[in-house]
Structure 1
């Protein structure tokens, strides 16, 4: 496996100004997950075949439309498939607004291309119906199968989307519209950021309007009138906040070899030696003629030669408080491969010389 190395050079900078809307969100302003079970029809022989689950669902759908199937007759389901339908209900969504829905095959269907989703109720975690979905699917993948059983599949033909196929039917209550204080939650826990947000809000409104409850939540003394609460929230979202530099971190992706080093990483005095063990195995074939000559059977024998050695290791000294650019230059001077770089960083951390959080994902 070849490793891919990517070093993101984030040079140390003074406190940066960020908008509040980029680092925090108001409590209660969130999306809600919706899920439903439905049937896709109109497929070209790529459906669920005779899956019992789909047969029962199709009979139930036909009964709701006033069609009674004769007893003992099961519809052929080569052109139908049982699916799960999911959607995301945005905050403050109102009845009549449209949603994009995702449709995924649940049974044995090989492709949903060309199918149409029948009317499906989308429920929230509380079991209430918040939206209805139906429409023609847009499927990106495709599949083809030969008579001998050979098959080729590109993408995911068993999953598709119905753009604007959902219609909101019920409003989700939001605590943002209730009377009383509003709450602002930071996207990442940070006490210094919470204090900076509080200071910026109080400075803008010339009073004690905001108080930090912890490293994430900020409590706001908000008016009760809806229009004034909205105006206050809009003003707060546009405020600029001076944030301190982020924590020093080294992120290592062990699967891809990607290494990201933040600009605040520092190291204590340390010497690093980098060497590689080289193992060579060679195979030679030789013909062997047993005695007496001409009467024995000629055979081929294998001769293996195994050699091991270590290349010349180079040592590099990190000065006290070395910064990111110096670390990168030193590692490059060692000629370290991505896998070796990960080992060097882990060794520096274990030795207590790496002043950063080492995160392996």
Structure 2
């Protein structure tokens, strides 16, 4: 059983994990997203577009009008209802002509807002320079980004749901293949061997070989197409070993950590905050000026806002984050302290900074 903690401010919630399906922890090599990018214009803005200092916007407007047989010197263009933008999108695997994909539109110049604007037809190219989609449509502000990430809460970036039409496919013939390769999302010799053994037991033959900590080569068994084989194999579960990880988003001050990640003996001074954890039996403490907080699970508030926390078991990242929060430490301080503990070797977990 795994339990997790979120700080940003702090929220605790349980997560029960008995196993993981192979498809959840592996990718099939060759089955991948492709990034697309394009440059275009957003029109229809209410005087919130680029000013005359954005020369590239004025030149782009002049070029567009010239393609419509309207010749105009860029210096004569004074409109503030247009903004130059970069358009990005993700082309999913096996996308076909006529499919629609979401696009994200981001201002390049000094536009104040893209709200209410319309993106004109913009070719989206891949890394090979070929056009794979055409984007056009009304820009919405405050939606989520094109890959399901965080909220776009500023007016100079927006989204067009289904705003691009796929014009060209990325060819990949998986059906006729006899071999495939799985790639673990997180390198682990233990998990690679677990997948190999699980597949070989299920199909009663040597259909899988782990070649390193991330790669498992597959041989399609008789009587299956490659699509059927991958579909069935992906649903098989293994006892998945996940390396402890602390995820930190420095922009929002959010920290996500396993509650049971222990902290080794250490002493750290950060500004007016002092953290002391040793191997003796007394409670580890975090102090700030004249306040002291014992690291633990249950809390009693004494007169003078002096918080005392009784501790059971080992000191963990969750205990420290909770105690720092009680002392009024900012998310930035908490993040800095955890990074220092990791560098000092007091935390044996991957630290992932977003």
Q: Please report the TM-score for the alignment, with normalisation by the length of structure 1.
A: 0.68
The whole-number CA distance in structure 2 between the counterparts of 1:350 and 1:96 is 50
CA RMSD of aligned residues (A): 4.2
Q: Aligned residue for 1:62?
A: 65
2:348 to 333, 356, 361: 356
Deviation at 1:228, TM superposition (A): 0.6
Deviation at 1:140, TM superposition (A): 3.1
Q: Aligned residue for 1:162?
A: 160
Show structure 1 runs of 5+ residues with no match. Answer: 142-153, 279-309, 317-323
* Count of residues in Structure 1 that have an aligned counterpart in Structure 2: 301
Deviation at 1:189, TM superposition (A): 0.9
Aligned CA distance change for structure 1 residues 118 and 258 (closer, same or farther; 3 Å): closer
Q: Aligned residue for 1:327?
A: 314
Deviation at 1:155, TM superposition (A): 3.8
**Could you report, residue by residue, the CA deviation over 1:179-201 in whole angstroms, capped at 9, with x for unpaired residues?**
34201111111111111111111
The whole-number CA distance in structure 1 between the counterparts of 2:169 and 2:221 is 23
2:231 to 234, 239, 248: 234
Matches within 5 A, 1:34-49: 34-49=36-51
Aligned CA distance change for structure 1 residues 70 and 130 (closer, same or farther; 3 Å): closer
Show structure 2 runs of 5+ residues with no match. Answer: 1-6, 144-151, 266-277, 297-310
Matches within 5 A, 1:243-262: 243-244=240-241, 246-247=242-243, 256=253, 258=255, 260-261=257-258
Say whether the 8 Å CA contact 2:245–2:349 is kept in structure 1.
Answer: yes
The whole-number CA distance in structure 1 between the counterparts of 2:158 and 2:340 is 47
3-state SS in 2 of match to 1:63: helix
The structure showing larger relative contact order (alpha-carbon pairs under 8 Å, at least 6 residues apart) is: 1
Deviation at 1:270, TM superposition (A): 1.2
Aligned CA distance change for structure 1 residues 259 and 217 (closer, same or farther; 3 Å): closer
Aligned CA distance change for structure 1 residues 327 and 109 (closer, same or farther; 3 Å): same
Deviation at 1:107, TM superposition (A): 0.9
Q: Aligned residue for 1:117?
A: 119
Aligned CA distance change for structure 1 residues 84 and 313 (closer, same or farther; 3 Å): closer
2:84 to 82, 85, 106: 82
Say whether the 8 Å CA contact 2:39–2:84 is kept in structure 1.
Answer: yes
Matches within 5 A, 1:212-291: 212-222=210-220, 228-244=225-241, 246-247=242-243, 256=253, 258=255, 260-261=257-258, 263=260, 265=262, 270-271=279-280, 274=285, 276=287, 278=289
Q: Please report the TM-score for the alignment, with normalisation by the length of structure 2.
A: 0.69
**Could you report, residue by residue, the CA deviation over 1:49-97 in whole angstroms, capped at 9, with x for unpaired residues?**
32321121112212223x2225687333211111111111000001110
The whole-number CA distance in structure 2 between the counterparts of 1:266 and 1:348 is 8
